[in-house]
């Protein structure tokens, strides 16, 4: 069984205190929602390997070394710590205080301090109202946050406001035109309304839909393209991709992450590979706009 000691790496030391706090708060909350043991939830949440996997995707489009990086949604601070120590980023992260999992910011600051870094790099703020000047960061990054925000479109606009011309915004989140929700570890048809999503989780899976009601299920590739086109009227941008390439590669290689409830998806992908249907399945899913995750990657162009 994984523990704080076995999770720790040279780039990030996980403390017993942080592990226990995540297990007993967030892990306990998600156990009836996701069906995941709180201990496993804490291990997956705090595993530094996730930060390195995220870096590998981001570095397809821009190097991290020495960059000024804003992370929207610090979580428990692991990505900030790993990227600071491994890539030498000049990092800042925002995490709202006292909302939802309000203890995340406190856990992040304590874990960052335990790793010898400045806990004040975690700023109490939301993605809708970033307390930074225009054109301030080289990279703005976010993972598994957009679907939990009050106004996802405003978060996207704010991210592009504070990134420098030539800089990169990358936002990773679920695609609700896909067929699996990691929060509930549940398969589903494409979601076109939150009301249907709540009904599906309650009726098909027998889960309390209260958490489902908080998720912004309008987030999908169609939504992303529409808002990026609107933003392009006032801010010069280049849409690099929405994650299709990463999905295609993972389907081809069978390299689905083991985090949280993704083991269910991984088994299906391996079966498709065994039947030599993985490439065809990837092409069909992409054509139907159902790949996951959605990886919104945009470069801000200099003003003409």
pLDDT given at position 276: 55
Q: Where along the chain do its domains lie?
A: 4-177+218-244+293-300
pLDDT given at position 259: 45
On whether the CB atoms of residues 88 and 78 are closer than 8 A, the answer is no
Ranges under pLDDT 50 in the chain: 100, 259-260, 262
Tell me how crowded residue 164 is: count the other CB atoms within 10 A of its CB: 16
pLDDT given at position 68: 98
- At the top level of CATH, the class of 4-177+218-244+293-300 is alpha beta
pLDDT given at position 260: 46
State the greatest distance between any 2 C-alpha atoms of the chain, in Å, as a whole number. Answer: 56
CA distance 127 to 5: 32
Structure tokens at 197: 């999503």
Return the closest-CA partner of residue 135 out of 236, 64, 9, 272: 236
Return the closest-CA partner of residue 26 out of 120, 82, 100, 87: 100
Q: Is 66 exposed, middle or buried (0-12, 13-18, 19+ CB in 10 A)?
A: exposed
pLDDT given at position 107: 93
Q: Which helix (H) or strand (E) holds 155?
A: helix 152-162
pTM: 0.92
pLDDT given at position 34: 81
Residue with tokens 């929405």: 242
On whether the CB atoms of residues 122 and 93 are closer than 8 A, the answer is yes
On whether the CB atoms of residues 45 and 36 are closer than 8 A, the answer is no
**148 contacts: CB under 8 Å, gap ≥ 6:** 100, 214, 215, 216
What letter does residue 62 receive in the DSSP assignment? S
**205 contacts: CB under 8 Å, gap ≥ 6:** 184, 186
Rounded to the nearest integer, the mean pLDDT of the chain is 90
pLDDT given at position 303: 78
On whether the CB atoms of residues 177 and 188 are closer than 8 A, the answer is no
pLDDT given at position 9: 96
Give per-residue burial for 122-134: e unless 16+ CB within 10 Å, then b. bbebbbbebebee
CA distance 234 to 251: 37
CA distance 32 to 23: 13
């Amino acid at each position: 069984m994984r523990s704080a000691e076995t999770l720790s790496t040279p780039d990030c030391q996980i403390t017993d205190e942080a592990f226990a706090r995540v297990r007993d708060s967030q892990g306990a909350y998600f156990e009836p929602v996701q069906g995941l043991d709180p201990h496993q939830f804490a291990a997956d949440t705090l595993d530094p390997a996730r930060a390195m996997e995220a870096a590998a995707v981001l570095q397809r489009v821009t190097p991290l070394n020495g960059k000024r990086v804003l992370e929207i949604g610090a979580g428990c601070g692991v990505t900030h710590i790993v990227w600071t120590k491994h890539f030498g980023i000049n990092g800042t992260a925002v995490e709202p205080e006292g909302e939802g999992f309000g203890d995340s910011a406190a856990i992040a600051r304590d874990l960052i301090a335990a790793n010898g870094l400045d806990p004040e790099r975690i700023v109490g703020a939301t993605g809708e109202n970033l307390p930074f000047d225009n054109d301030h960061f080289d990279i703005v990054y976010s993972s598994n946050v957009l679907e939990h925000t009050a106004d996802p479109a405003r978060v996207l606009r704010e991210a592009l406001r504070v990134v420098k011309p030539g800089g990169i915004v990358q936002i990773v989140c679920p695609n609700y035109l896909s067929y699996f929700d990691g929060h509930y570890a549940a398969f589903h048809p494409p979601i076109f309304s939150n009301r249907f999503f709540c009904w599906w989780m309650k009726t098909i899976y027998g889960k309390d839909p209260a958490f489902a009601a908080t998720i912004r299920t309008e987030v999908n590739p169609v939504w992303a393209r529409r808002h990026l086109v609107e933003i392009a009227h006032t801010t010069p941008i280049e849409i690099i991709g929405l994650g299709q390439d990463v999905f295609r590669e993972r389907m081809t290689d069978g390299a689905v992450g083991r985090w949280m409830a993704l083991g269910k998806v991984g088994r299906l992908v391996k079966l498709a590979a065994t039947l030599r249907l993985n490439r065809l399945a990837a092409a069909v899913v992409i054509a139907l706009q159902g790949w996951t995750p959605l990886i919104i990657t945009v470069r801000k162009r200099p003003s003409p």
